[in-house]
Structure formats: C-alpha cells, structure tokens
A and B are shown apart, each in its own frame.
Chain A
Amino acid sequence: MRLSKSAKSILGVITGLVLLFIYAPLLLVVVNSFNSDKTFGWPPKGFTLEWWGRAFESEGVRSALVTSLWVAVVSTIISLVLGTLLALALQRYRFFGREAVNLLVILPIALPGIVTGIALNNMFTTILGVPLSMWTVVIAHATFCMVTVFNNVIARLRRVNSRLEEASADLGAGVFTTFRLVTFPQLRSALLAGGLLAFALSFDEIIVTTFTIGAGDTTLPIWILQNLFRPNQAPVVNVVAVVLIVVSIVPIYLAQRLSEDSVGVRRPAKVAA
C-alpha cells in the first residue's frame, strides 16, 4: 500500500496531537506545582517554589510517603519470590491445570480494581475478621503485582537455554546450586525489571488500596484523595501528584532500558502470551 505524502503527514499530525493530548494534562500538573496563583487558572500567573517547600515540611505527606514506600517495597519482595516460582513452574513443566494457573495470575489485574478491592475487603473484614492494616494492603498489592514479575521472568526463561541447567546438573550441581549459579544470573535483569514495575504499580495504586487499608494509615495516593477537595491543600496536592508521576515513570523507564523483553503488566500484546 502506497500512501500519498499528504496522507502520511496527516497521520503524523494526528499522532502528534494524540501525544500532546496524552502528555498535556500531566505537564499541566507539573506546571501548576510551581504556579504562584492558588486558583490555578490558565495561563499561570507566576513561578514559586513555596508549594514544594510546604510539601516537604508537611508531616502528613512525609508519613504517607514512608507508608507508600514501605508497602511498595514489601509487596515487591513478595511478588518477586512468588512470581519467579510461578514462572519457573509454568515454563519448565507441563502439568494438569497449567492453563488455569496461567489465567489465575492474570485475573487480579484483568478484573476491575473495584472487584479485587471489595472482594479482599469483604474477605478480611466479614469472613476472616482481620482488622485492615498496612499488612492487608501488602497482601492485596502482592496479589496483583505478582504478574509483572511473572511476565518478565517467563519471557526471559523462554529465551534461556534450559540445557545449561541440565549440564549443570549432570556435572553434579544440586538443585539450589544450579539455581544460584546458572539460572539466577540469567534472570537477574528480568527480575530487576519485573521488580521495578511491581514497585511502580504498588506505589501509586489507589482503588484496591482504599478498600484494604486500615483507618489510621495513609499512602500518598490516599493522601491525595483525602485532600483533593480541600481548596487550601490544592497546591500541595499538585506537588504530591508530581512526585507520584516521577516515582512511577522513572522505574518504568529503567525497566524498559534494562531488558528488551521487559513486559508491562498491561502491555496487552504480551500479557497472556
């Protein structure tokens, strides 16, 4: 199919406009975090660093940041372990129910967050009688973060030659020695990429978090939601939103750089592969 020059440039312009449409609202938040006018009308009236200073001094923001980091780190560690085990099991073995397990790992992100959220909330509070806390958030996050690690590790395992492992075993290495010296080094960057994605996913998750967090705890997204409708907090909310954008996009960028086959949780073309 040969497109005329003008057809190509029209498509190019559309693509440019769509990208502008994708990035403009995010840039607006960044600009507004430096906007000296508290009503945030457009165009901005002046430049200030006051809101950034205030955000750093805010006790609420700081403790929410610590909570978010803690939840994201613990969930990432759990997902790394569970996701790797699952990927090894599904890639190296054929067994009854393998397809079902494959579907099972995708389910927590395929269903809307509200379903996952209320299902877990209901199980903790009504069925088990467990008080909601940071640990219930970690359990919820690990459940849907597992898939990012799983996807990255299984994509890597597909390309790694399993004969190396057999050779290692034939040379007398035990199962754990083979994993430590042969399998793990080949997985390292896939694990890092999957872990970064899991971290980013957990760090800014809001829906499942609102349903599973205890009354006294606040993550950064929860903090935003609580302060969103308070006009005098608006400037600080902008700053926190910028922090969320940066903390979620930088790990993604790194993960992309780390492994060519880095697979996003919802990078749809590859999720169910």
Chain B
Amino acid sequence: MSLNTQQPGTAADPGTRPGTAAVPRARKNSFSALLNRTPRLRLAALLTAPAGWLVLVYIAALAALLITALWTVDTFTGKVSTTWTFANVIQVLTDPVYQIITLRTIWIALAVTIIDAVIAVPIAFFIAKVATAHWQKILVIAVLMPLWASYLVKAYAWRNVLASGGLLEWMGAPLGVASPGYSETAVILTLAYIWLPYMILPIHAGFEKVPNSLLEASSDLGAKPLKTMRLVMLPILVPSIIAGTIFTFSLSLGDYITAQIVGGTTQMLGTVVYANVGAANNLPFASAVSLVPIVIIMVYLFVVRRTGALNNL
C-alpha cells in the first residue's frame, strides 16, 4: 500500500474545512502516517487490547484455577492458604461420593446427547432436504430463536411443565403416563430440551452440504431411501453430528442450575462446585472438582479431533 504522507487526507475527508486546527491535525496525521508505513505497528495496535484482555482475564483465570486446585483452605481462618497439596484432586478422584456424582453427570450428559441426536437428525433432514426454500428459512429461524431465550427461563419453564398438577401430568393422565416430577429423569428431559437447537443446527448445516445430485445418483442406481441415508448421507454427516454432540455433551457436563431447578435432590458435578464456592467456601476444592469436566471435555475433543468435527463447530 503506497501512501503519500505529505498530503493529509483532506481530499477524502469532505467534512473538514481546510485550514482549521492545523497543528493538532498535523500531529494526528503524523501518527496516522506512522501507522500507514508500518503494518506491524498497525497489527499491534489492533491486537493488543482484545488479545491482552482475553489472555489477562481468561487464560490467566484458567491457569489460576489449575493452581488453586493444588492449594488448600485453612480450617481456622477459612482463608485460602497457599500450601501445595494434591489432597483435593486425590479426594475428588478416590472418594466414592464424587465418583458416583462424576458417573451420574457423565450419564446425564450422554443421555441428553443421544436423545438430542435422535430428535435432531430427522428434523434437520426435513428442513434441509424436504421443505421448500420458503419454509426452510422460516423453520431455521423457528429453531434458532429459542436457542437465544434465556437458559434459566427454559429450565424454569420445565419446572412449570413438570409441576404436580402441571401440563405434563395433565397430558399424561389419559395415557396413564406419570410425570417424572423433579428428578434425574426431569434433568435429562430439560437439558435435552435446552440444548436441542445446538444439535439441530450443525446437523442441518451438514445435510445442506450433501449435494442433491449425489442422492439422486444413489437412487438412480437403485438404492432405497434408507440405504441412501445409511451409505451416502451418514458418512458425510458424521462430523456434523459429532460437532453437535460437543455442544450437548460439554454444556450438560457443566450444568448445575437445571439440576437445582428440576432435579429435586439430584447432584451433578456443577452442584458440588457451586456448593463449594458458596456455602462451604472452599475454592481450592471447587477448583479441583471443576477440573473433572474440563479434563473430560478435553479428552472428548481430542478423541473426535480426527473426524474433522472441530471444523464444523
């Protein structure tokens, strides 16, 4: 980019009257000219604030979390003491109470993921491949909108649905189906509800990537729809489905609000973290517990990395 720094940008700046405030303009322009001459400096000027913010606020906080998990709480003062110990981590890993909670949390996250995948595939297929172009647009927005409604309100809405004498009981009564009430089942149902759009959208995007000509070729060669689905679509879709599971799985893994609102006495890893930040005031232990979902998610991401799912996020 060549630039004549001797001519300040009045030509491209019709709003500026010539001759006004000559001295400050000259100074501003020399800085502007310096930026123009040095792309590196320009990049630094753009990058410093946001990257600095993310590193100083977020990466530092994550690193501090890791360190705090290795500290302990002084039993007399209740303050964090910087004595190094693996006691918290060991307790989280070996205490049967936390093992059960970890397994339950993984089970809930898995169940939610499977339910969402089963619901999402047909609806995403319908939107991408069956509905007319006009309906496609409407349906995508219809799926997208509630994605943004407050997570809290959605959990609260299910508290209403599941309440005794509520909608679900009323609907189930003629069929002889009882409402699960506030329980682990309720947590799974509610989380599946909350994260469903996160599963539909990547799968929908995946279906859109499957060219129609490929499907027609498959059927011209004699494959029935189900066979086409299994042999042609599914292999192309796998990365998108996995991309969806990353959201449903990792978001469920860290939940505690839903468990609190519709779970009755159900405890998840998040419940333990929350209790140790608030009432028990044991941040080192809470940090140690929060490492469990982080590690599980990292392992999951590592495993699915090869499928190319991360490019579909």
Which residues of A pack against B, CB within 8 Å?
A: 1-3, 7-8, 11-12, 14-15, 18-19, 21-26, 28-29, 32, 39-43, 81-83, 85-86, 88-89, 92-93, 95, 101, 104-108, 110-116, 118-123, 125-127, 139, 142-143, 146, 166, 168-178, 181, 197, 200-201, 204, 206-207, 210-211, 221, 224-225, 228, 237-238, 241, 244-245, 248-249, 252-253, 256, 264, 266-269, 271-272
Contact = CB atoms under 8 A, between A and B. Distances in A.
Contact of A206 (B127, B166, B257): B257
B108 interface: no
Given A14-B123, A171-B11, A172-B7, A204 B150 contact: yes
Given A11-B130, A126-B68, A225-B257, A206 B150 contact: yes
Contact of A174 (B36, B144, B216, B311): B36
A168 B1 CA distance: 10
A18 B199 CA distance: 13
A177 B9 contact: yes
Nearest to A147: B54
B303 interface: no
B1 A42 contact: no
B153 interface: yes
Given A21-B193, A122-B64, A249-B145, A104 B160 contact: no
Contact of A18 (B29, B68, B123): B123
A168 B12 contact: yes
Contacts of B151: 204, 206-207
A111 B225 CA distance: 38
Contacts of B150: 204, 206, 221, 241, 244-245, 248
Contacts of A170: 1-3
Interface string B11-47: 1110000000000000011001101100100110011
Interface of B: 1-4, 7-13, 28-29, 32-33, 35-36, 39, 42-43, 46-47, 49-51, 53-55, 57-62, 64-65, 68, 80, 119, 122-123, 125-127, 130-131, 139, 141-154, 156-161, 163, 165-167, 169-170, 193, 196-198, 201-202, 204-205, 215-216, 218-219, 223, 225, 228-229, 243-244, 247, 250-251, 253-257, 261, 270, 273-274, 277, 283, 286-287, 290, 293-294, 297, 310-313
The 3 tightest CB contacts between A and B, nearest first, are A112-B254, A174-B32, A204-B150
Given A172-B11, A207-B257, A1 B58 contact: no
Contacts of A114: 254-256, 270, 273-274, 290, 293
B12 A177 contact: yes
Contacts of A267: 144, 147, 201
**Interface of chain B: mostly helix, strand, loop or mixed:** helix
Given A25-B161, A81-B49, A120-B61, 16 more contacts: A2-B219, A15-B131, A22-B193, A26-B149, A32-B160, A42-B166, A85-B49, A114-B290, A118-B65, A118-B287, A119-B62, A174-B9, A204-B150, A207-B151, A221-B152, A272-B313
Contacts of B261: 228
B82 to A, nearest CB: 9
Given A42-B165, A272-B313, A111 B297 contact: yes
B33 A139 contact: no
Contact of A269 (B8, B9, B167, B205): B205
B255 A175 contact: no
B157 A29 contact: yes
A127 B57 CA distance: 12
B119 A118 contact: no
Given A29-B157, A268-B247, A245 B313 contact: no
9 contacts: A112-B251, A112-B270, A112-B297, A113-B254, A115-B254, A174-B35, A211-B277, A224-B156, A245-B153
A266 B198 contact: yes
A221 B261 CA distance: 13
Contacts of B157: 25-26, 28-29, 241
A223 B123 CA distance: 36
Nearest to A128: B64
Contact of B153 (A29, A85, A106, A177): A29
Contacts of B254: 111-115, 207
B54 A143 contact: yes
B153 A244 contact: yes
Contacts of A177: 9, 12-13, 32
Contact of A82 (B35, B50, B64, B219): B50
B138 to A, nearest CB: 10
B197 A88 contact: no
B154 A25 contact: yes
